[in-house]
Structure 1
């Protein structure tokens, strides 16, 4: 498979908790072991560099990293000595003005950080009150571990939240993670299967907890929250750590089933800063708050940045100071040697007098002009219409103006991947099934002609007796099943990755259309595919998501005989090591040709598992999924 893209125009913290935490959800609310209610604002954040007490001392300490400031203060002190016989008032006042101006600049930038912190800490989220059976608006800063939160579409999660229920009957929801990883594509998440099953049993029918359209949305949400508390959930949390992908936690439902813990992973969480999309609302319990959240553990303190120009300026100042010291020493020695007076001043006094006389060689206003220019350039950046996002009408925010001149010294810009500099829109271009290549699937924009490969693929698929019909059918069937794409009511595909959306739409263009994904008992997922040979419901029991280590994505579909059908797509260099037979020569030639055109390439494969093979694999999978330590490695 080959695809192409379309080109388009904080604080490092230590976790507050270092041990496992248990959250018990009951009809009366939540209880946490050990108790976490020691802070007034458990979920408040602070990204400022200073406090009211530390602003001036810390700012002065940072300023004395500049050699010129040390020199100016030394001159002001020396001028106050009586035998120097110099006017100390101008020098002292000038030094104080320099230090105060730089301190005020630091305060101005820190106040902007404080303003941003306040906006975040005073944002509101719905918190469930069991006594009133309703959600009350609560400041983010007041959210604590164990709180049952309601997050609606378009809102960010205020804490690392374990989602327990969703407006979607399947329990799935999508989050935008661009605030954390810069990715514009949505990520699919889901409530734990054991909780969905228990909720269905609590209400009496699968998906019944989400019905009742005649009631208001607030009533339905409060009803779901009450049902969640009735389940008697116990959530065990591992100590907080920075790894975003590793969340080895578990949940047990004491009121239903055996009460055995069910393993959780990152797909069940909405992390702080993730924005809810494509789902009306989700209900979850706050698990990590404040400095224990992934966003905080992966941020760094606001640094005291120094630009290359300032380093160069400091070096120039050191050279000038060395010159002044040398000249002052020379003049002092010469004056001592030439003077014949009996009451001549000591040598060190003569040296200090010459040092004060020559200090204007290094102007005190040098750094004031330097800081004023920084402020002016920062204001210009924030008011620049060419740096305004046309969609959100948001202007650039110069949070630190100390190194703005570095922007003018950039010669090369390196990007980690194409999606960073493009619209991240993928289109299906070519494919090679077995030994036969098909393509291009892209229409000719200049001639206005449709893609020639579409009609050819449709003809091969409909001609069931052709030599390659079976292989082509299986290929496009895998594209229509092996994914986590969701189809909206208007038929629009939404997925975690634009690659998956492009593959699903390519299968639809040749007549193998993915229509819907529905949940069944036990947390199973049914992928409904309409094709020329009929409508098929694929019983997807397991989804093995793409990771940077695996470099592939798989789905395991149950078959009527008790076995399973595994469909996998992934990077060609990884898949070549996993297939039972080497890729045909024609396929390798096609891969090389696709790569030379700058296309992204994938290999798609499938395998049937016998009932015995599937049973053995599933036992290992369930055991690894419930592990509390090293779960990710065991699942790999």
Structure 2
């Protein structure tokens, strides 16, 4: 395979991303007519995607056949925000459940109640509430993670239009790859990070809504370079009369800065600067523009949206932290009462024990420990087993009420607050 020319930015010493487009010898071919935009009007940038990555240098070749991209090193456009898999849900879920001091406390009580020497009760009286509480916690985690999985699946299976092999195809988002050329219409969401090539505006301008990314409701203008807009090709009605010259784009590797994009485009031995005005992030929506064409530069978890997304952490909520501290305080108070009860029992039972028991080595110390544990079992209701269940139900119901409350919604957004 012929090696593409490698270029670097000597100003900052960083490797750059190289994007190569259709060679000069490739004539512009008309595409089938599509709803909302005449594809013949944008046929001047009809490309097929491809890309390679070697030695840390990204090379995106929109004119290369798709199957040559196997092993290119680019990440898939599929995203995943769920915490668990089928294999790790149970062990991780149990670990998280017993990180709560209440569940760990009930586990200790269940073990103590299974010892007949210190407890008159059967172990099931403590095991059943514990199993119930843990099952409810696991069920809530499973429902929440399934909702995340469904959201990921819905996003990954959204359709978009891609130029491949000289025609426009409907392709789901998770199959979008670096180097694909996408046609996005008004009110549609962008499937990946890309650079604007052209739009329905003769100057290549378009408007995007990034409220899903940064919460800003105002529309942001974007535009392609003058050298790639449709106005450069006045014979678009007869596209066979024109060519799209070979061009090269160099840009920085993926980063988290949503408002920064720097690069340069070389066309016909002329270098044109690229900045955030040509960059459109994944998750933004096209507004007040019939169509726009972009070339994909970042996909999946390398997009700026996913770079800024926090990894799903298995952490305790603020309410759970307060609950843990309260349970520890109550447990310390319970142990104090158990110790006082054990001492009082020893003082009260001392005359009777001296009369009916032989003094043998170790008997008194063992008896004192068993008495202390018996008091722990007797006072286990200091922390009610319904505590965790009540808290979980309250959080779930309050979340539903917040979601139903129309006064708490953004007036410019129809989505619920939670």
**What TM-score do the two structures reach when normalised by structure 2?**
0.76
Of 190, 201, 217, 2:223 maps to 190
The answer to whether residue 57 in structure 2 is matched with residue 22 in structure 1 is no
The answer to whether residue 267 in structure 2 is matched with residue 267 in structure 1 is no
What is the deviation of 1:288? Answer: 0.6
Of 278, 285, 291, 1:281 maps to 291
The answer to whether residue 417 in structure 2 is matched with residue 371 in structure 1 is no
Distance 2:248 2:312 in 1: 38
Of 23, 27, 46, 2:80 maps to 46
Q: Does 1 or 2 have the higher relative contact order (CA < 8 Å, sep 6+)?
A: 2
What is the deviation of 1:82? Answer: 4.7
What is the deviation of 1:227? Answer: 6.8
> Alignment length, in residue pairs?
355
Q: Which moved more, 1:298-307 or 1:238-247?
A: 298-307
Find the counterpart in structure 1 of residue 52 from structure 2. Answer: 33
What is the deviation of 1:41? Answer: 7.6
Of 34, 39, 58, 2:92 maps to 58
Q: Is the 8 A contact 1:22 1:33 kept in 2?
A: no
What is the deviation of 1:166? Answer: 1.1
Of 146, 149, 170, 1:111 maps to 146
SS in 2 for 1:319: helix
Distance 1:188 1:390 in 2: 23
Q: Is the 8 A contact 1:23 1:30 kept in 2?
A: no
Find the counterpart in structure 2 of residue 355 from structure 1. Answer: 376
CA 261–112 in structure 1, closer or farther in 2 if over 3 Å, else same: same
Gaps of 5+ in 1: 1-17, 213-219, 399-636
Q: Is the 8 A contact 2:185 2:286 kept in 1?
A: yes
Q: Which moved more, 1:22-31 or 1:65-74?
A: 22-31
SS in 2 for 1:105: helix
SS in 2 for 1:136: strand
Find the counterpart in structure 1 of residue 197 from structure 2. Answer: 164
What is the deviation of 1:49? Answer: 2.4
Distance 1:227 1:80 in 2: 85
Of 380, 393, 412, 2:401 maps to 380
Distance 1:267 1:333 in 2: 78
Distance 1:316 1:156 in 2: 47
Distance 1:397 1:272 in 2: 22
Find the counterpart in structure 2 of residue 566 from structure 1. Answer: none
Find the counterpart in structure 2 of residue 151 from structure 1. Answer: 184
CA 40–189 in structure 1, closer or farther in 2 if over 3 Å, else same: closer
CA 277–332 in structure 1, closer or farther in 2 if over 3 Å, else same: same
Question: CA deviation digits over 1:230-264, x for unaligned, max 9?
Answer: 422322231111112221222223xxx22x44321
What is the deviation of 1:331? Answer: 2.4
- Please give the residue correspondences for 1:130-529 in structure 2 after superposition, counting only pairs within 5 Å: 130=165, 133-196=166-229, 203=233, 205=234, 208-209=235-236, 212=237, 230-253=244-267, 257-258=268-269, 260-303=270-313, 308-337=318-347, 338-339=349-350, 340=353, 341-342=357-358, 345-387=366-408, 394-398=414-418
Gaps of 5+ in 2: 1-13, 27-46, 55-68
What is the deviation of 1:53? Answer: 2.3
SS in 1 for 2:130: helix
What is the deviation of 1:387? Answer: 4.7
**What TM-score do the two structures reach when normalised by structure 1?**
0.51
What is the deviation of 1:313? Answer: 3.1
Q: Is the 8 A contact 2:74 2:178 kept in 1?
A: no
Distance 2:95 2:193 in 1: 37
In proportion to residue count, which structure has more strand? 1
